[in-house]
Amino acid sequence: MLGFSKRVKNPQISKDEVEQKLRHIAFIMDGNGRWAKKRGLPRKAGHKYGAENLRRVANRCKELGIKAITVYAFSTENWSRPKDEVDSIMRLLCNFCDEAVRDREKNKIRFVFLGDKAVFDSEMRDKLEKLEEMTADYEHILNIALNYGARDELVHSVNSLIAEGKESVTEQDISSRLYTSHVPDPDLIVRTGGDFRISNFLLWQAAYAELCFTKTLWPDLDEREIDRIVADFLTRDRRYGNVK
């Protein structure tokens, strides 16, 4: 199994070290459907528990001192799923936004949606934008990638630059027009569910991200495992192409 090892059993995590080294963690929240199937439940039940687990994971990451979290909630490819499943995910998202607005003063988390919102109806867009506006001043960030695809994001970035009249572009130009321009590149990308792929997530930003793959299905990812993943990340030697 690739990913985090058993090197770290009972991690002692220093918040200072996390603040320095792990400024941004990203999760590919995969495995909701299989989690439900194992229990004889419909796939949408898996998404419901998955949404609940997002709260647990976000809280733990915040407690550990991580300033920015990005989660992959719905890809540009996920629209091809059965309508019933897509509808149930969108309903869960609406409830998630309502609760996030209600609990904003308790949670103190800034929400940002990554992806093109133009596909949503005006009621849904208003909901997403209202949550972003109402939480805009909080320091801890939770980016939710929704109708997100990394290739779509790159095309969007380049088209913005063309519209501004640029004839040639720098890496900095491209980065600054991505949906993630308000956060540093992810230091660590974690995929739950046991598959070893990126599925069109943060392709540009992942250039030097550390990767972690765990078999755990997303609704089961708990505080203990997050601590082990973070502790393992802190032992990694990031060379960025250089030598010691």
Kindly state whether residue 197 participates in binding ligand IPE, applying the rule CB under 6 A: yes
**Is 59 among the residues known to form the active site?**
no
Specify whether the CB–CB gap between 205 and 20 falls below 8 A.
no
Specify whether the CB–CB gap between 27 and 192 falls below 8 A.
yes
Q: Which of 29, 188 has the CB closer to ligand IPE?
A: 29
- Which residue from 34, 55, 125, 140 is in contact with ligand IPE, where contact means CB under 6 A? 34
Q: Report the distance separating Cα 76 and Cα 64, nearest Å.
A: 31
Give residue 89's Cα distance to chain centre. Answer: 16
Query: Which of 10, 53, 78, 187 is an active site residue?
Result: 78
Of 22-30, 124-132, 178-186, 224-232, the segment contacting Mg ion by CB under 5 A is: 22-30
- Which residue from 49, 74, 96, 111 is in contact with ligand IPE, where contact means CB under 6 A? 74
Q: Which of 30, 227 has the CB closer to Mg ion?
A: 30
Of 22-30, 61-69, 208-216, 233-241, the segment contacting ligand IPE by CB under 6 A is: 22-30
Residue 88 near which of ligand IPE, Mg ion, none (CB within 5-8 Å, type-dependent):
none
Specify whether the CB–CB gap between 206 and 189 falls below 8 A.
yes
- Which residue from 4, 30, 60, 147 is in contact with Mg ion, where contact means CB under 5 A? 30
**Is 78 among the residues known to form the active site?**
yes
To 10 degrees, the CA torsion angle through 119, 125, 128, 131?
160
Q: Which of 34, 117 has the CB closer to ligand IPE?
A: 34
Residue 179 near which of ligand IPE, Mg ion, none (CB within 5-8 Å, type-dependent):
none
Specify whether the CB–CB gap between 210 and 2 falls below 8 A.
no
Q: In a 10 Å sphere around its CB, with 0-12 CB exposed, 13-18 middle and 19+ buried, how is residue 112 labelled?
A: buried
Work out how close the CB of 131 gets to ligand IPE at its nearest, in angstroms, rounded to a whole number: 19
CA distances from 241 to 2, 103, 208 (A): 21, 43, 9
Three-state DSSP state, 68: strand
Using CB under 5 A, list all residues that contact Mg ion. 30
Using CB under 6 A, list all residues that contact ligand IPE. 28-34, 72-75, 78, 89, 193, 195, 197, 199
Active-site annotation, residues? 30, 78
